[in-house]
Structure 1
Amino acid sequence: MNYFLKKWGSIFNLRISSKILSCRKRDGRLVFAQVICAFVLLFSFQASAFAVQKIEFWTMSLKPKFIPYFHDLVRDYEATHPGVQIVWVDFPWDILQLKLITAIAAGKPPALVNLSVPWAEEMARDGLLEPLDAYLTTPGQAIPYTDAALADLRFNGKVYGFPHYSNVNVIAYNRQLLAAAGITQAPQNMDELLALAVKVAAKTGKPGYAPALGKIDGFMMQQGLDLIVNGKAVFNSPAHVALVKKLAATYKANGFLKDKLFAEDNFPAVVDAYLGGRLAVMVSAPTAIKRIQTDAPDIYAQTGIFPMPAGPTGINDGGWMFHFAIPQGVKSQDMPAVAEFARYLTGDRSQLAFARLAGVMPTTKQALANPYFKQLPVNAGAAELASAVAANSMNSARSLYVAGIDDYDELRRFLVKAVEAGVTGKADIQTSLNEAVAIWNKKLAKVHRP
Structure 2
Amino acid sequence: MNRRHFWKRSWRLGIFAVLGLCLSWLMSCSPSQPPQASGNGADGNAEIEFWTMQLQPQFTDYFNELIAKFEQENPGITVKWVDVPWGDMQSKILTAVSAGTAPDVVNLNPDFAAQLAGRNAWLMLDDKVPAEVRDQYLPKIWEASMLDGQTFGLPWYLTTSVAIYNAQLLEQAGVAQPPTTYEELAAVAKQVRDRTGKYAFFATLVPTDSAEVLQSFTQMGATLVDEDGNAAFNTPEGRAVFQYWTDLYQQGLLPREVLTQGHRRGIELFQAGETAVLSTGPQFLKTVETNAPAIAEVSATAPQISGSTGKKSVAVMNLVVPKGTDQPDAAVAFALYVTNNENQLAFAKAANVLPSTRDALNDAFFTAGAEGGAPIDKARAVSATQMESAEVLLPQIKDVKELQKIVYDNLQAAMLGEKTVDQAVTDAATEWDAR
After superposition, the Cα gap between the structure-2 partners of 1:150 and 1:196, relative to the gap in structure 1 and judged at 3 Å, is same
Report the secondary structure of 1:330's partner residue: coil
Runs of 5+ consecutive residues of structure 2 not aligned to the other structure: 1-43
- Of residues 198, 206, 214, the one that matches 1:217 is 214
1:323 and 2:315 aligned: no
1:228 and 2:225 aligned: yes
- Match runs of 1:410-449 below 5 Å: 412-443=404-435
After superposition, the Cα gap between the structure-2 partners of 1:401 and 1:76, relative to the gap in structure 1 and judged at 3 Å, is same
Aligned residue number for residue 235 of structure 2: 237
- Of residues 55, 65, 69, the one that matches 1:72 is 65
CA distance in 2, matches of 1:142, 1:419: 39
Is residue 155–residue 339 contact of structure 2 (8 Å, CA) maintained in 1?
yes
Is residue 125–residue 152 contact of structure 2 (8 Å, CA) maintained in 1?
yes
After superposition, the Cα gap between the structure-2 partners of 1:405 and 1:102, relative to the gap in structure 1 and judged at 3 Å, is closer
> What is the letter of the counterpart of residue 357 of structure 2?
T
Aligned residue number for residue 62 of structure 1: 55
1:251 and 2:249 aligned: yes
Aligned residue number for residue 282 of structure 1: 278
> What is the letter of the counterpart of residue 54 of structure 2?
S
Is residue 220–residue 308 contact of structure 2 (8 Å, CA) maintained in 1?
yes
Higher relative contact order (CA 8 A, sep 6+): 2
Report the secondary structure of 2:116's partner residue: helix
Report the secondary structure of 2:123's partner residue: coil
Give the CA deviation at 1:339.
2.8
CA distance in 1, matches of 2:366, 2:110: 25
Aligned residue number for residue 262 of structure 2: 266
Is residue 369–residue 380 contact of structure 2 (8 Å, CA) maintained in 1?
no
CA distance in 2, matches of 1:259, 1:387: 31
- Of residues 341, 348, 373, the one that matches 1:348 is 341
Report the secondary structure of 2:385's partner residue: helix
Q: How many residues align?
A: 386
CA distance in 1, matches of 2:370, 2:386: 20
Q: Which runs of 4+ in 1 moved over 6 A?
A: none
> What is the letter of the counterpart of residue 214 of structure 2?
D
> What is the letter of the counterpart of residue 360 of structure 1?
V
CA distance in 1, matches of 2:305, 2:330: 41
Aligned residue number for residue 138 of structure 2: 146
- Match runs of 1:184-223 below 5 Å: 184-214=176-206, 215=211, 216-223=213-220
CA distance in 1, matches of 2:101, 2:247: 55
Give the CA deviation at 1:287.
2.0
Q: Show CA shifts across 1:267-326 (max 9, x none).
A: 222112211211111111112111111111111111011101344555423x33111112
Q: Show CA shifts across 1:80-133 (max 9, x none).
A: 333322221223345544554555566564331112102221222111212212
1:363 and 2:361 aligned: no
Give the CA deviation at 1:426.
4.8
After superposition, the Cα gap between the structure-2 partners of 1:378 and 1:401, relative to the gap in structure 1 and judged at 3 Å, is closer
Name the stretch that deviates more: 119-128 or 211-220: 211-220
1:178 and 2:170 aligned: yes
Name the stretch that deviates more: 141-150 or 247-256: 247-256
Aligned residue number for residue 19 of structure 1: none
Give the CA deviation at 1:71.
0.7
- Of residues 263, 281, 291, the one that matches 2:287 is 291
Q: Show CA shifts across 1:208-256 (max 9, x none).
A: 1222333443332343323333454343432222222223333344432
1:89 and 2:86 aligned: no
Give the CA deviation at 1:167.
0.8
After superposition, the Cα gap between the structure-2 partners of 1:365 and 1:183, relative to the gap in structure 1 and judged at 3 Å, is farther
Q: Normalising to structure 1: TM-score of the pair?
A: 0.76
After superposition, the Cα gap between the structure-2 partners of 1:79 and 1:248, relative to the gap in structure 1 and judged at 3 Å, is same
CA distance in 1, matches of 2:154, 2:412: 38
After superposition, the Cα gap between the structure-2 partners of 1:284 and 1:140, relative to the gap in structure 1 and judged at 3 Å, is closer
Aligned residue number for residue 107 of structure 2: 114
Give the CA deviation at 1:384.
1.7
Is residue 116–residue 398 contact of structure 2 (8 Å, CA) maintained in 1?
no
Give the CA deviation at 1:156.
1.4
Q: Show CA shifts across 1:363-395 (max 9, x none).
A: 122222222211018853322221111111124
Give the CA deviation at 1:69.
1.5
CA distance in 2, matches of 1:95, 1:146: 29
Is residue 314–residue 396 contact of structure 1 (8 Å, CA) maintained in 2?
no
CA distance in 2, matches of 1:381, 1:440: 46
Q: Show CA shifts across 1:327-362 (max 9, x none).
A: 21335xx54443332222112222222223333222
Is residue 197–residue 208 contact of structure 1 (8 Å, CA) maintained in 2?
yes
Aligned residue number for residue 308 of structure 1: 304
Percent of matched pairs sharing the same residue: 30
After superposition, the Cα gap between the structure-2 partners of 1:377 and 1:168, relative to the gap in structure 1 and judged at 3 Å, is closer
> What is the letter of the counterpart of residue 247 of structure 1?
W
Aligned residue number for residue 339 of structure 1: 332
> What is the letter of the counterpart of residue 280 of structure 2?
S
After superposition, the Cα gap between the structure-2 partners of 1:62 and 1:416, relative to the gap in structure 1 and judged at 3 Å, is same
> What is the letter of the counterpart of residue 321 of structure 1?
V
Name the stretch that deviates more: 370-379 or 301-310: 370-379
Is residue 227–residue 234 contact of structure 1 (8 Å, CA) maintained in 2?
yes
CA distance in 1, matches of 2:337, 2:53: 18
Give the CA deviation at 1:159.
1.6
Bigger Rg, which one: 1
After superposition, the Cα gap between the structure-2 partners of 1:253 and 1:147, relative to the gap in structure 1 and judged at 3 Å, is same
User: CA RMSD of the aligned region, Å?
Assistant: 2.9
CA distance in 1, matches of 2:100, 2:62: 30
CA distance in 1, matches of 2:159, 2:188: 24
